[in-house]
Amino acid sequence: MGVMMLLLLGCELTGKALGCKEGERLGQLNVKAAFNFPNGTALPTWRADKEDCCQWERINCSNIRNTMQVTKLQLSGLPQPRSLDAGALFPSGLCELASLETLSISGNELAGSIPRCLFNMTTLHTLDLSYNHFGGAIPPSLFSSLKLLESLSLSGNAFEGSFSFSSLLVLFCLSNCIPSSRHGFVPSFLMEQHDLEVFELFNCRLEGQLPSWLLENNTNLGYFNLMGSSFSGHFSLNSSLTNYNMWLIDVASNSLEGELPSYFSYVFPNLGDLNVSRNSMQGRIPSSLCHSPTASNLRMLDLSTNRFIGELPEKLMRCEILGILILANNNLRGQVLPRVANLSLLTYLSLSDNQFYGEISTGLLNSPSLSFLDMSSNNLSGVIPDWIGDLQELSVLSLADNSIEGTLPLSFCKLQKLEFLNLAGNDIGPSIPSCVNVSALKHLHLERMNLKGSLPQFLQAASSIVTLSLSSNALSGGIPSWIGSLSTLRVLLLAGNSFEGLMPQELCQLHNISIMDLSHNHLSGRIPSYFNKLAFGSSQVPDGTFTISGYGFTWAVVFSFPYVSTPQEGGDAVEVLFTSKHRLESYGGRVLPVMSGLDLSCNNLSGSIPLQLGNLSDIRSLNLSYNHLSGSIPVTISNLDQIECLDLSHNNLSGEIPQRLIELYRLSTFSVAYNNLSGRTPEPKYQFATFFRESYEGNSFLCGWQLGNCRSSGGLPLTPPPAEHQEDIFRTAFRWSFAGSYAMAFIGTVFTLCLSSYFWTLFFDFVYRHIPSSCAFIDRLFPMH
């Protein structure tokens, strides 16, 4: 009998030690049932007939007091069709796990308040509830009972109220909190924290004074991230403080003012990354940011988009391991880089939109690994130095919008890695050395320069080129037929030159072209019918993306254009002004795949509009205005389903306007003014209810309610579209109707293209709001030499 007992006991013990506890197992099956999507296929290895839940996916066990117990559960990101009440998951589910140390259930659409039983999970040291829909107040006693908690992530929820806990050590992360406390809106419990090592309040929209006291009260803090809140005030620190642990401070995108304290780097001697960008900081850049050039750990400094003044401090210019320096969009002056500069590890330098002046200085030569150099929109003068060819790692070079003059030095041809070159808006010319190595080149912007002669032939070797802009120069001659060999081209901008002759047949080999602007030239002859072979948006070619690596950073530079911002909530804000001028940073967005247009306006084209243009079913903008086109408007134009801008004005078109045009439901800008059209204007239905006199005037034989000249049954009332859907179209289109043209971020000139996608979500940043109403107007934007 005794032997039997022992044996049984032994069996039981071993059984337990092998598998997980029954209570935990059943609890997990309840969790699975709660998720139960789709159709019970979530967590397939969690099966009632598989006894040992330690073997199930996303679960880890440890042997605690001779029993295997679940200590780690990683349930983030399970697909959920709709929000799930947390109450279904915790009691008699997760809360059965008495020894859980790590619980991650982020991104699971969980809703409700924090379940009470979580208070009892006293062994937790890592808790990640982020990106769910938890709401309500966080019970104060929660964190006092979770004494071992080291890492807590609550971001992306809707918690409210203030709360406190005692021994948080590592991560604090909140979002959407509306706390109240003595210190502005920062939760008051933070007053009692002294052992924080990582502090992160990411995109919290908190207001009030910058909580500098957190830095003073937590001398072990190593990582301090308050990016994207609305903190104001100054950096005020007790200068006798020293924190050797701090390696990252990110206070970007707040409303901070005042100066950066001069003792900053004495307080944080080991600081590696400092991001203060997008604030309203003033004053000079403290020279002590790199208190001792050789002992400093500063690798990344981003002070862009502030109001810093003065010259680049000498000490900073010798900061030995500085790899990334971003000072764009300030009021800085002086030489770039000063002669004393010895930033030998610098790979990324952005100084655009400042007031740097003088010649490009040899200080740059001590940074041989520079691969990104943006000095655009400054007041630089002189010539491009001969030694530029020694910066062999350069893959991005922008000197746009300065006063640089002369010719490109021959040594420029030594740069073999150039992928992006922007010299626009300088007095550089009249030609580019033909030895320039264009084999890696993807984006070339040479507009508004002093280029003369024919289209540079060496470009023929640019086998990866995506964007070619030579607008607003004095180039002449014909458009060469080799242009057809640039098969990767997506954007071709040759507007505002003196190109003449016929458009070559080879243009039709540019299958993947999305945007072609040949306006404001002297092109003559007919519009080739083969344009229907071009994609104009129907091919999806990835944007030019490439990465720059260096010194522990990998920088993804995405080139696509123009800048697209995400829609604002409610979708009412039509105008989102450009945040930046013509800088590289503006090249965000995913727009290239959806943007397409052909602009042949202001040339000497004659003949009729080819029927085949109606095959460009993905084109968004077609501008043929200011030519000598004759014949009638082909009815095939009404096949351009995606078109948003159609300008045929100032030609010699005759005949009637095809009534089927009213089927162009996306049209927001339309003009046939100043032709010889006759008959009636299209019925005022759908989009055509939004086009008024300006769209039709200057056609003596045209009659319509807009023109008020129809003799019989004239003056048709403006019929609002009947259905709700159409109502929307109408209203949206009305909002978009001003959207005749905009400046593309990277060229700063106007391309008359509009692109609304009005029932989709993209908004553009309009700079110019009105359709250029004459060639003369446009000529001011495309000054010719």
Ligand X SMILES: *[C@@H]1O[C@H](CO)[C@@H](O)[C@H](O)[C@H]1NC(C)=O
Choose, by CB under 6 A, the member of 80, 102, 113, 217 that binds ligand X: 217
168-197 positions binding ligand X, by CB under 6 A? 191-192
Q: Is 411 in the site for ligand X (CB under 6 A)?
A: no
**Site map (CB under 6 A) of ligand X, residues 552-591, x = contact:** ----------------------------------------
String marking each residue 112-151 x if it binds ligand X according to CB under 6 A: ----xx--x-------------------------------
CB 716 within 8 A of CB 725: no
Q: How far is the CB of 416 from ligand X (least distance, A)?
A: 4
Tell me, what amino acid is at 270?
N
What six digits make up the tokens of 203?
């995109």
Q: What is the token pair recorded at 162? A: 């203030």
Q: Which is nearer to ligand X, 39 or 713 (CB)?
A: 39
Residue 476: CB minimum distance to ligand X, A: 12
Q: Going by C-beta distance under 8 Å and a sequence separation of 6 or more, which residues neighbour residue 569?
A: none
State yes or no: residue 22 binds ligand X (CB under 6 A).
no
Q: Which of the stretches 15-23, 263-271, 435-443, 564-572 binds ligand X when contact is defined by CB under 6 A?
A: 435-443
Candidates 167, 220, 232, 342; binder of ligand X (CB under 6 A) is 342
Token digits of residue 136: 């309500």
Closer of 228 and 748 to ligand X (Cβ): 228
The single residue among 141, 434, 604, 774 that binds ligand X, judged by CB under 6 A, is 604
Binding to ligand X by CB under 6 A, coded x per residue (else -) over 638-677, reads -x--------------------------------------
Considering the complex, state which of residue 416 and residue 460 has its C-beta at the smaller distance from ligand X. Answer: 416
In whole angstroms, give the CA distance from residue 37 to residue 41.
Answer: 6
Enter the tokens of residue 397.
């070079």
Site mask for ligand X (CB under 6 A), range 232-251, x = bound = ------x-x-----------
Q: Are strands 564-565 and 763-764 parallel, antiparallel or unpaired?
A: antiparallel
Burial of 194 per CB tally in 10 Å (0-12, 13-18, 19+)? exposed
CB of 714 to ligand X, least distance (A): 34
Rg for the chain, CA atoms, rounded:
32
Q: How far apart are CA 93 and CA 76, in angstroms?
A: 16
Output the smallest distance, CB 99 to ligand X, in A: 14
617 contacts ligand X (rule: CB under 6 A): no
Residue type (1 letter), 70:
V
- Residues pairing with 477 in the sheet: 499
Judged by CB under 6 A, the residue of 166, 524, 732, 773 near ligand X is: 524
The answer to whether 72 and 100 are in contact (CB under 8 A) is yes
Q: Which of residues 671-730 bind ligand X (CB under 6 A)?
A: none
| Binder among 277, 335, 361, 706 for ligand X (CB under 6 A) | 277
Strands (DSSP E) contained in 265-403 are 273-275, 300-302, 309-310, 324-326, 331-336, 348-350, 355-360, 372-374, 379-380, 396-398
Q: Residues, the chain, total?
A: 785
The SS3 call for residue 451 is coil
Using the rule CB under 6 A, which residue among 249, 260, 326, 436 binds ligand X?
A: 326
State which residue, 278 or 291, has the beta carbon closest to ligand X: 278
Q: Give least dist CB 731 to ligand X, A.
A: 32
- For the CB of residue 462, give the shortest distance to ligand X in the complex, in Å: 11
Pick 596 or 615: Cβ nearer ligand X = 615
Which amino acid makes up residue 454?
S
Q: What CA–CA distance (Å, rounded) separates 634 from 627?
A: 16
- The residue among 120 and 545 lying less far from ligand X, judged by its C-beta, is 120
519 contributes a contact to ligand X by CB under 6 A = no
Specify the stretch interacting with ligand X by CB under 6 A; choose among 259-267, 404-412, 436-444, 670-678: 436-444
* Rounded least distance, CB 689 to ligand X, Å: 27
**Token pair for residue 627?**
């030519």
Tokens at 510, concatenated = 């540019």
Provide CB contacts within 8 A for 320, sequence distance 6+. 293, 294, 296, 342, 344, 345
Q: Count Cβ atoms below 10 Å from residue 82 Cβ, excluding itself.
A: 7
- The reply on whether position 522 binds ligand X by CB under 6 A is yes
**Structure tokens of 659?**
């009534």
When binding is defined by CB under 6 A, the residue of 440, 576, 762, 775 that contacts ligand X is: 440
β partners of residue 158: 135
Task: Give the interface segment with ligand X, choosing from 147-155, 538-546, 575-583, 727-735 (CB under 6 A).
Answer: 538-546
Dmax of the chain from CA atoms? 117
d(CA 319, CA 298): 7
CB-nearer residue toward ligand X: 58 or 735: 58
Residue number closest to ligand X, CB atom: 539
Question: Smallest distance, Å, CB 687 to ligand X?
Answer: 21
Structure tokens, 84 = 């799930």
CB neighbour burial string for 509-523, b if at least 16 within 10 angstroms, e if fewer: bbebbbbbbbbbbeb
**Interface with ligand X, residue 162, by CB under 6 A:** no
Please say which residue, 302 or 353, places its beta carbon nearer to ligand X: 302
With b meaning 16 or more CB within 10 Å and e meaning fewer, what string describes 231-261?
Answer: bbbebebeeeeebeebbbbbbbbbebbbebb
Q: Which residues bind ligand X (CB under 6 A)?
A: 38-39, 57, 60, 116-117, 120, 191-192, 213, 216-217, 227, 238, 240, 252-253, 275, 277-278, 300, 302, 320, 324, 326, 342, 344, 355, 357, 366, 379, 381, 416, 437, 439-440, 487-488, 511-512, 522, 524, 532, 539-541, 604, 606, 612, 614-615, 636, 639
